[in-house]
Amino acid sequence: MIQITSPPQMAKIMEQCQAALARQKVRFLVCAGTGCVAGGSLDVYDEFKRLIEEKGISVDVELLYEGQKSDAGIGIGGCHGFCQMGPLVRVEPKETFYTKVKVADVEEIVTATIDKDTVVERLLYQNPDGSRSVTEHEVPFYSTQQRIVLGKCGVINPEDIREYFAAEGYQALAHVLQDLTREQVIDIVTRSGLRGRGGAGFPAGRKWQSCLQATGSPKYIVCNGDEGDPGAFMDRSVLEGDPLAVIEGMTIAGYSVGASYGYIYVRAEYPLAVKRLHKAIAQARQSQLLGDNIMGTGFNFDLKIFQGAGAFVCGESTALTLSIEGKRGMPRVAPRPRTTEIGLWDKPTVLNNVKSFAYVPDIIRKGADWFKAIGTETSSGTAVFALTGNITNSGLIEVPMGTTFREIIFNLGGGIPDGEKFKAVQTGGPSGGCLPESLLDLPIDFDSLDEAGAIMGSGGMVIMDERTCMVDVARYFLDFTVIESCGQCVPCRLGTKQLLEVLEDICAGKGRKEDLDLLYELSHAVHAASICGLGQTAANPVLTTLRYFKEEYEAHIFDKCCPAKVCKALISFVISEDRCKGCGICAKHCPVSAITGEKKQVHVIDQSLCIQCGVCMEKCPKKFRAVDCVSPRIKAAVPETMETT
Amino acid sequence: MEDRLSEILSPYKGKQDALIPILQKVQEEIGYLPAEAMQEIARTTGLPQSRVYAVATFYAQFYFTRRGRHQSKICTGTACHVKGAARIMDTFERELGIACGETSEDYEHSLETVACVGSCALAPVVVVDEEVYGQVDSSKMSKIFDDFKETEKED
């Protein structure tokens, strides 16, 4: 293992590692993010290894530093973000980008690449116009992205520190340790305009400055990887795809505030991220980049991973530190000293999000002005979003702050699939809001979203089409908040519960006309009186849906109709007499035997037995489409009419 | 059980700060946190039992009853919700004959929700015994249930 004993040595190491990579004539990088692994990418990787060995091609499974030039290298990469098209395979140096690769496709890729120097056309991404994109940059999903934090994800092997070195890794730390004082580092971070990427957008430089000035020792650096927002996986991908950038960023933070110990708090649901972090930390220690006497400069900094145990509220800074201390993660009551003064174990603590730390090495290397030039006046840099829901291209994207929703949804995202119409975009998870079509041209940054009633949050962006019921979405988020409320303050514990019950009633067709005012009133009370961010923002999903989609609430309450046909109590499934051919498939699949009918005769659903599971509609052959979903509900047939036949 | 517990707990004597990692370790080894384990953790760390329970009950990860051999988790993250997680849950409840949060009497199956597994681009998602199934539809579910039946037959 490479030992770094002085900062100037780092430049030479980088060249060596780059040269080692250049020895490989071609290189197959198989994506091994959680999404692609679920699609079978590890089997694809094994097949590459097996086939190449079988063909007698000299191969590097990891970087070699001596000997003959090898014909091929194979590695695993982190998440490319285009999980929907996975498993993904990238072939270097031509950067050929293959999608949906199966084990059976591997032989063709190997033969085309090594023997014929061509590409396998059918595995390239197919553009909407039918043409094919050869490299990642040509795919519309990536075309206007600017990948900084995600820049190395999928391009380097996250389990080999030498590939991080080759990608200019640890050059920033070397520069910091060799040339910069603590104040100079903080000055760069402050001037860059970096705002915390956990959601609130507090300026990182000011946080670090306040911790540097705080008295008390030791000081701690804590990385918040408790990515609890449902519908968000940015931090997971960074931790899985480029763990060392986070570690280097934390080490730089440690140097600048005078901390020699740090924690990375990772969600329990992210086992792969934990595994990669363990490997990265071990390799960094071996290379003298963590632990005592880093790069021979006398600076000490070490890290520990803390695995969360499943509590959303632990994303709040005071709850997170209490959780590390082995206590219930209940936020401290305000007014209270800042975490930078009294944080983990009551000591000064810098607590930042995964992405905030991951930006730091690039900001140090390229300078504050470089970062400041990207994005908007008040929100510099890029924003990372997990683009999901009813969208053609779902996955992870990184765009400059100030990009509009329209650009993201209709250009990068490829619009709404299945010929459906856009209805709403949800950002910021349970603390955020649902924004309508009229706000699609809003440039996205911390402040604009706040004004619109949503929040930036950590980066979840869920697209909803006309098939999504906005009352049900509000109910869904409140259901989440009720479960996750820590319960120590009444407005949050009981207020969210009351909100949920009102919403449940509306969805169940029991809404009353005074419920709308009641929702407003309760929402404002919960917002004003809760002690932490979870409670204060819990009503945002209700308030934004009321603000932008009030007519849907009214349809539920007054017409007992769910326009999106989602709320089970307000819908019925019916079989069309004109279109039903009597094939009997629906009756066969109906779990409650509510469908009857003779072969080749029109079938009928008994509404008194039907549980609105929708299986009949799903199973009815596409060429018939004989099952309709209607709202308001059809009354169950009365027995007399059945007897008359 | 006693020997096993003392073996698991031996490195943690008096380590009160490590309560959450201890609970995680015990659950990983035993599968859940039985009452005697909770007592033993309190004794080893020197914490009152009330505190051990206070912490363990706060976090969703910890179980106090035995889990089933197969653990199905239906992701209910926002993307999965929008793409029909509720219907998937209905189907699992019907097929396995247990409600969400329950374990079957023969300890074959446990069924629960998970807030988000971070594989939103593959929504809707189901996690069965650590394996992630993406873009779940009725035919993928049938396959999962068939696999369950296969393992039953093998025994």
In degrees and rounded to multiples of 5, residue A371 shows phi and psi of -70, -40
Question: Using CA atoms, how far apart are residues B33 and A96, in angstroms rounded to an integer?
Answer: 50
Q: How far apart are CA A342 and CA B145, in angstroms?
A: 52
**Cα A429 to Cα B82: distance, rounded to the nearest angstrom:** 13
pLDDT band at A640, cuts 50/70/90?
A: low
CB atoms closer than 10 angstroms to residue B143: 12
Query: Mean pLDDT, chain A, as a whole number?
Result: 92
Q: Which residues from chain B sit within 8 angstroms of residue A611, using beta carbons?
A: 90
User: pLDDT > 70: what percent of chain A?
Assistant: 96
CB A247, CB A281: distance < 8 Å: yes
Mean pLDDT, rounded, for A229-243? 91
- Are β-strands A395-400 and A382-389 bridged in parallel, bridged antiparallel, or unpaired? antiparallel
CA distance A210 to A199: 20
Binned at pLDDT 50, 70 and 90, residue A527 comes out as very high
Contact B115 A228 (CB under 8 A): yes
Q: Which residues contact A109 (CB under 8 A, 6 or more apart)?
A: A28, A89, A91, A98, A101, A120, A123
Tokens describing residue A531: 């002690």
Quick: pLDDT tens for B62-108. 999 999 999 999 999 888 998 889 989 999 999 999 999 999 999 99
From chain A, pick out residues whose CB is under 8 angstroms from the CB of B131: 38
- Which residue from B minimizes the CA distance to A430? B78
Tokens 């609130």 — which residue?
A200
- What pLDDT shows up at residue B125? 94
Distance from CA of A294 to the nearest CA of B (A): 27
Q: Do A229 and B138 touch (CB under 8 A)?
A: no
A326: nearest CB among B19, B90, B121? B19
Amino acid at A83: C
Using CA atoms, how far apart are residues A41 and A78, in angstroms rounded to an integer? 11
Give dist(CA A97, CA A109) in Å, integer: 11
Residue A59 has pLDDT above 70, yes or no: no
Which two structure tokens, joined as six digits, stand for A381? 């840099």
Distance CA B78, CA B120 (A): 8
Q: Using CB atoms, which residue from B82, B121, B133 is nearest to A83? A: B121
Residues of B in Cβ contact (< 8 Å) with A395:
121
Residue with tokens 């308001």: A632
- Report yes or no: B58 and B37 within 8 Å, Cβ to Cβ: no
The CATH architecture one would assign to domain A9-139 is 3-Layer(aba) Sandwich (3.40)
- H, E, C per residue of B73-132: EEECCHHHHHCCHHHHHHHHHHHHCCCCCCECCCCCEEEEEECCCCCHHHCCCEEECCEE
Cross-chain residue pair A229–B116, CB shorter than 8 Å: yes
Instruction: Give just the sign of the alpha carbon dihedral A272, A278, A284, A286.
Output: negative
Cα dist from A183 to A171, A372, A376, A622, whole Å: 19, 19, 26, 66
pLDDT at A67 over 70: no
- Strands A349-353 and A220-225 turn out to be parallel
| Residues of chain A with C-beta less than 8 angstroms from the C-beta of B54 | 328
What local confidence, expressed as pLDDT, does residue A346 receive? 94
**Beta carbons of A231 and B116 less than 8 Å apart:** yes
Q: What is the mean pLDDT of residues A432-459?
A: 90
Residue A643's pLDDT is what? 46
| Digit-coded pLDDT (tens) for B32-51 | 999 999 999 999 999 999 99
Among A205-209, A355-359, A610-614, B53-57, the range scoring the smallest mean pLDDT is A610-614
Res A26: pLDDT: 86
A64/A349 Cα distance (integer angstroms)? 40
Tell me, yes or no, if B92 comes closer than 8 A to chain A by beta carbon.
Answer: no
> In a mutagenesis test of the B interface, which of A31, A34, A396, A412 is the best target, namely the one with the most B β-carbons within 10 Å?
A34
For B63, phi and psi rounded to 5 degrees? -115, 145
Instruction: Write the pLDDT tens digit of every residue in A454-501.
Output: 888 878 899 999 999 999 999 999 999 999 999 999 999 999 999 999
Query: How many cross-chain Cβ pairs, A to B, lie less than 8 Å apart?
Result: 146
Residue A229: closest C-alpha in chain B: B116
State whether the Cα torsion A525-A530-A536-A542 is positive or negative.
negative
Contact B61 A613 (CB under 8 A): no
Average of per-residue pLDDT across A383-405: 93
Question: Three-class SS of residue A7?
Answer: coil
- CA distance linking residue A151 with residue A449, whole number of Å: 25
Q: How many residues does chain B have?
A: 155
Confidence of residue A645 (pLDDT cuts 50, 70, 90): very low
Quote the pLDDT of residue A434.
Answer: 94
Cβ–Cβ gap A307/B24 under 8 Å: yes
Percent of chain A with pLDDT strictly greater than 90:
78
DSSP letter, residue A204: H
Q: Which of A38, A306, A464 sits opposite B134 (nearest CB)?
A: A38
pLDDT band (50, 70, 90) for residue A83: confident
CB distance A260 to A459 below 8 Å? no
CA distance, residue A307 to nearest chain B CA (Å): 8
C-beta atoms of B115 and A614 within 8 A: no
Alpha-carbon distance B56 to nearest alpha carbon in chain A (angstroms): 8
CA dist., res. A445 & res. A391, Å (int): 21
Pick the CATH number of B70-154 from 3.50.50.60, 3.40.30.10, 3.90.420.10, 1.10.510.10: 3.40.30.10
Q: CA angle at residue A114 from A111 to A117, to 5 degrees?
A: 95
The β-bridge relationship of strands A572-575 and A627-630 is antiparallel
Instruction: Please report, for chain A, the start and end positions of each structural domain, with discontinuous segments joined by +.
Output: 9-139, 168-372, 382-465, 470-558, 571-643
pLDDT tens-digit map of A247-303: 999 999 999 999 999 999 998 888 889 999 999 999 999 999 999 999 999 999 999
Query: What top-level class would CATH report for the domain A571-643?
Result: alpha beta
Distances in whole angstroms, Cα of residue A487 to Cα of each of A224, A496, A569? 22, 10, 30
Per-residue model confidence (pLDDT) at position A25 = 82
d(C-alpha A453, C-alpha A468), whole Å? 20
Of chain B, the percentage scoring pLDDT greater than 90 comes to 72
Q: Domain A470-558 falls in which CATH fold?
A: de novo design (two linked rop proteins) (1.20.1440)
Q: Which of B78, B119, B131 sits opposite A426 (nearest CB)?
A: B78
- Distance from the Cα of B23 to chain A's closest Cα (Å) equals 9
Please indicate whether, in this complex, the C-beta atoms of B134 and A39 are within 8 angstroms of each other: yes
Residues of chain A positioned with their CB less than 8 A from the CB of B60: 309-311
Whether ipTM exceeds 0.85: yes
Chain A: closest CA distance from residue B6 (Å):
20
- pLDDT tens column, A425-439: 999 888 899 999 999
Q: Indicate the pTM of the whole model.
A: 0.93
User: Which of B78, B94, B138 lies closest to A230 in CB terms?
Assistant: B78
Task: Give the right CATH number for A168-372 from 3.40.50.450, 3.40.50.11540, 3.90.870.10, 3.10.300.10.
Answer: 3.40.50.11540
Residue A63 pLDDT more than 60? no
B140 vs A: CB within 8 A? no
The confidence band for A333, taking pLDDT boundaries of 50, 70 and 90, is: confident
- The CATH number that domain A382-465 falls under is 3.10.20.600
**Is A365 within 8 Å of A171 (Cβ atoms)?**
yes
| Residue whose C-alpha is closest to residue A348's, from A265, A433, A421, A262 | A262
CA distance A75 to A60: 9
Instruction: Decide if B20 and A323 are in contact by the 8 Å CB cutoff.
Output: yes
Indicate if the pLDDT at residue A415 is higher than 50: yes
Q: By the CB < 8 Å criterion, does B50 face chain A? A: no
Q: Provide, as residue numbers in chain B, all residues whose Cβ is less than 8 Å from the Cβ of A233.
A: 116, 118-121
Contacts with A229 from chain B: Cβ below 8 Å? 116
Chain A closest-CA separation from residue B35 CA (Å): 19
Element (H, E) at A556: helix A550-558
pLDDT in tens, A528-558: 999 998 999 999 999 999 999 999 999 999 9
The whole-angstrom separation of Cα A166 and Cα A211 is: 33
Nearest to A233 among B16, B19, B120 (CB): B120
Identify all chain B residues contacting A227, using CB atoms and an 8 Å cutoff: 118
Query: Comparing A644 with A317, which gets the higher pLDDT?
Result: A317
Instruction: Answer yes or no: is pLDDT of A174 > 90.
Output: yes
CB A231 within 8 A of CB A389: yes
Residue type at A443 in one-letter notation: P
pLDDT of A644 > 50? The answer is: no
Q: Does B114 touch chain A (CB under 8 A)?
A: yes
Q: Do domains A9-139 and A168-372 have the same CATH topology?
A: no
- The shortest C-alpha distance from A234 to chain B (Å) reads 8
The model's confidence at residue B12, banded by pLDDT at 50, 70 and 90, is very high
Give domain limits for chain B: 2-58, 70-154
Q: What is the pLDDT of residue B131?
A: 87
Q: Token pair for residue A492?
A: 């949050």
Give dist(CA A431, CA A436) in Å, integer: 17
- With beta carbons under 8 A apart, name residues in chain A contacting B81: 230, 473, 476
